[in-house]
Structure formats: structure tokens, C-alpha cells
Structure 1
Amino acid sequence: MAQTIYVGGLLVATPRLEDPNFRRSVVLILEHDRVGGTLGVVLNRPSDISVTQVLPTWDSLVSGPPVLFQGGPVQTDSALALAAVPSGGEPLGWRRLATRIPAVSRLGTVDLDAPPEILAGEIAQMRIFAGYAGWTPGQLEAEIAEGAWYVVDAEPGDTFFADPESLWRTVLRRQPSELAFVATCPDDPTMN
């Protein structure tokens, strides 16, 4: 079964994916094209580092938990922020994701070099990610063909899910047919 990769979609790690960077991860796709490859952020890896420690001026705008999230294994010394706007507007310092998916149509990236004051009152939720996940052209398609990822639709609350550690199971549980049963797969299938 071919799975289409698209901006605003989710990559959900299958139980077969053992890479510790992506084991049981949920990745939001931020960019995808045949020339540049794919870029996304892991949504369900909160770190122990508070936003106050690294980007104190943005702390008041971050949605809970107020920590940096491990966005992926690429450029972990850089930060990327996602924010949702409550209306259809496009505030200064915020860029809408290039997607037609209604669930993430109010989601965009934040320019962390901009003064936070220009976004205060303009955004509804925000998270900051250290690093990102990236694939060269064709690499992600090959991983999907090998059975490493499911591609599923995002829902509005996924990016800012209150309990990030349970997001993998939650996303799988809401899928149709047998894919929902994957959510019950134990952490170690040999212990089943």
C-alpha cells in the first residue's frame, strides 16, 4: 500500500522501527518535495530542559509542558518553533505551513530572532523544538516501503498534545481498521 507524504501529515513509527531517535515517535511533516527531501519535527519527545534555560524571552508564550522538545537528530543545537494562530490572520514573525490540510491550517513556524512581544496575543499555542528530522529525496519513501512508518492525518491537538508521551498510542488508536490495534503493541514485543 503506497502512502502519500504531505506537509501537515504525521509520520508514526511502526513497532519495527528500532532507531532510538525515532522509536515510537510521531513526526509532523513541515516540508516535503522531490528535490529538497523531507523535514519534520518529533512531537512526542519532551526534554528535561526548560525553555527558560535556553530562550527565556519566549517562555511566557510556550504551551505546557514549558520545555524544549527534541525535534529530531539533525542540528540539535538549533531551535525551531511552531505556533498556532487563533484566527485566519498571519502575524508578523509567523509563517503558515504550506498545507491544505484543515487540521493544521492555523499552524506555522515562528521566527525566534523576532521580538516575542510582536507575537504576544497573536498566537494560541507554541512549542519550541531542538533540532529536526530530515530525509534526503527518496529516503523517507524507502523507509515507508520497508515498513518503518505509517503516514496518517494530523488532528488539531496533535502538535500541542498535553501528554506527549502518550501521543504515539493516541494517534494510532484513532486510526481505522487494524492500524488501531498497533497501539496495543507492548514496548518489548518479545514479552507478549
Structure 2
Amino acid sequence: MPDLINGTILIADPFLKDPNFMRTVIFLCDHEAAGSFGFVLNRKWKRVVSELVPDLADCNFPVHYGGPVQMETLHFLHRCPDVISGGVEITDGIFWGGNFEEVSVLIQSNWIKENQIRFFAGYSGWSEGQLEEEVKEKSWLTTKGNKKLVFHHDENLVWQDAIKQIGGEYEQIIHYPIDPTLN
């Protein structure tokens, strides 16, 4: 079984039927004995930041569906530790959270760009041992997280590009139908 560490990318098996995670890619932010959490990278929510944060009335940055847990919470990943203090580095220059007042000022002054920050409503979470069991059952493929996948310019290509990153025999699953009984 692959090591599950902070910064791992979880790629949903092409036949995973759970509607919350069908063909998703999740960036694992925290994995420890007590449980794990991360954010779905390839599902935009139908809201933008200005709809959730009134102080950012002009911000049309998309909000992504982070997962089914605590959908009323707003989280963010960024790659700007030099101007956003308090974030936690997950891996290779990808930070989770930080000082939201600084983020607000940076957005209002047009200093931070959409490709430098991602907002998420809710998160994906697993209880103790649950994620390890799902990986053992092959519900998830894994690869190393990186800025290209986390801040991808097209969320519709994240699942395919994550599989391509694994390479080899796995690349063929990109072409598998969602429901093979319809073939």
C-alpha cells in the first residue's frame, strides 16, 4: 500500500459510484492516525467568493466543492506565503489557510490572482483507518501532489492529468466509461 502523507493526491477509481467522489481528485492536507482531510480539486461549486464573503463584493474567484463535510465552511489553498501569513505548508510551496484579512486586502487590491489561490466550501474527511481501508480496496489511486494539479487551469482535466502523472498501465483508465454496462 502506498504511503499516505500530507500532500498526497487521491484519484478516484473510475468505477467509484459514490456521487460525492465520482471521478474526483482530492488533495490530502492532513493525514494522521486519528483521521484525514483534504479538498476535491476538480469540482467547481455554483458560487463565487463574493456570494459567500460580503466584504469581497467584487471577487468572482470560483469556489470549489471541497467535499461533503461542513459545507458551510470556507477554506483556501494558496502559493503566496510571502504575503499571506499563518498558512501551513502541505507540500512543495502549497499552503493551506492563513490570515484571511490579508487575503481580503490582496484580492481587493488585485494583487493576488485566481491561479494563486483556491477556495473550497466544505472538505472531505475520513475517520481513523477509513482512508487506509479505501486505498487497500483500490477505491483510490495515489500520486504526489504538486502545484500543477492543485492550481490546474481547467478542473475538467485534473482527473485525467493526475492519472497521466502516475503513467504506465494506469493511463488506459482515462478512457473507461463511467458505467461500463452501457458499452
TM (norm. structure 2) is: 0.86
Task: Sort the Cα spacing of 1:50 and 1:122 in 2 relative to 1 into closer, same or farther, 3 A.
Answer: closer
SS state of the match for residue 11, structure 2?
strand
Consecutive unaligned residues in structure 2, runs of 5 or more: none
Give the corresponding residue for 2:39. Answer: 41
C-alpha separation in 2, matches of 1:59 and 1:148? 40
Residues 99-155 of structure 1: per-residue CA shift (max 9 Å, x gap): 3xxxxx211123364242268647860111000001111100001111100111123
C-alpha separation in 2, matches of 1:131 and 1:23? 17
Task: Sort the Cα spacing of 1:96 and 1:21 in 2 relative to 1 into closer, same or farther, 3 A.
Answer: same
Runs of 4+ aligned residues of structure 1 deviating over 3 Å after TM superposition are 56-62, 89-94, 118-124
Give the corresponding residue for 1:141. Answer: 132
Consecutive unaligned residues in structure 1, runs of 5 or more: 100-104
Residues 70-99 of structure 1: per-residue CA shift (max 9 Å, x gap): 0000000010011112xxx54443413243
TM (norm. structure 1) is: 0.83
Task: Sort the Cα spacing of 1:45 and 1:92 in 2 relative to 1 into closer, same or farther, 3 A.
Answer: closer
Q: Is the 8 A contact 2:89 2:95 kept in 1?
A: yes
C-alpha separation in 1, matches of 2:82 and 2:97? 11
Kindly provide the amino acid, as one letter, of the partner of residue 67 in structure 1.
P
Q: Is the 8 A contact 1:68 1:128 kept in 2?
A: yes
SS state of the match for residue 97, structure 1?
strand
Give the corresponding residue for 1:93. Answer: 85
Residues 1-46 of structure 1: per-residue CA shift (max 9 Å, x gap): x121111110000023111000100000100111x31110000010
Percent identical residues: 28
Choose the corresponding residue for 1:71, options 43, 66, 88. 66
Give the corresponding residue for 1:191. Answer: 182
Greater helix content = 2
Q: Is the 8 A contact 2:49 2:59 kept in 1?
A: no
Residue 61 of structure 1 deviates from its aligned partner by 7.2
